[in-house]
């Protein structure tokens, strides 16, 4: 899939929805952006369009890693929420990889309809 302006527009819109809900609900949140999530115990990985953490322990871990200016994925917890804009059909089992990474929720937009996968 070509990641063009339309894709980035949709990704940004979904990210703003997450941020707005968190702000109104006074829910602490941190975006981990378009990170490539690959762990030794999971044979495959993926690059999400956007990812977020909400849990206090994860927020603390992220704050520590950012304070150290770490770019190592090993220093960051798996996200609580993944955002996927899949305008073209995916060739990999993205929900299966998210499940293996123990990501609690995925928001997916396929260009026509939204899906929330929990």
Q: Which domain holds residue 109?
A: 5-117
Q: Is pLDDT of 24 > 80? A: yes
Whole-structure pTM value: 0.86
Q: What is the mean pLDDT of the chain?
A: 87
Mean pLDDT for the stretch of residues 20-33? 95
The CA distance from 108 to 87, in Å, is 10
**Under a CB-based contact definition with an 8 Å cutoff, are residues 42 and 67 in contact?**
no
The CA distance from 64 to 3, in Å, is 31
Q: Is pLDDT of 114 > 80? A: no
Q: Is pLDDT of 104 > 80? A: yes
The CA distance from 24 to 110, in Å, is 27
Closest-CA residue to 31 (of 82, 98, 89): 82
Q: Is pLDDT of 90 > 90? A: no
Q: How many domains does the chain have?
A: 1
């Amino acid at each position: 899939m070509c990641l063009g302006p339309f894709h980035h527009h949709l990704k940004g819109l979904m990210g703003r929805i997450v941020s707005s809900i968190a702000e109104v609900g006074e829910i602490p949140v941190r975006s981990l952006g378009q990170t490539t999530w690959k762990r030794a115990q999971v044979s495959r990985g993926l690059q999400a369009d956007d990812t977020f953490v909400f849990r206090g322990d994860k927020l603390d871990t992220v704050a520590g890693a950012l304070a150290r200016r770490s770019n190592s994925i090993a220093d960051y917890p798996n996200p609580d929420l993944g955002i996927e804009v899949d305008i073209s059909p995916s060739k990999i089992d993205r929900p299966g990889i998210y499940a293996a990474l123990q990501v609690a929720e995925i928001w997916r937009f396929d260009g026509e309809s939204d899906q929330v996968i929990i």
